[in-house]
Amino acid sequence: MKSLCLLVSAAVLLPATAFAQMSNGDYCNALIQRYQTYLPNPATSRTPPSPEVENAISQCKAGNTAAGIPVLERKLRDARVDLPKRN
């Protein structure tokens, strides 16, 4: 009976844990989206992003989230834009 309870608990809790965490790639994409929505964006005729931000976006899209995330987070914080939640 105890084993059955543990098995049922694990079956219920594991999917919830998996959905609770956002991958670095998803987080990087959320940062890019937030940056493009609230900060300079060539698509809206505003000043294009700096080379540093363009590089960070390229790094994220190439899968090098460790290089892209800190730059995008810093730029958003500097602009007083809330960061997306990582869940």
Q: Which two tokens stand for residue 54?
A: 């363009």
pTM: 0.70
What pLDDT is recorded for position 6? 42
Q: How far apart are the first and last CA of the chain?
A: 34
Residue 83 in this model has a pLDDT that exceeds 90: yes
- Report whether pLDDT(67) > 50: yes
pLDDT of residue 54: 95
- 27-66: per-residue pLDDT in tens? 999 999 999 888 865 556 566 788 999 999 999 999 999 9
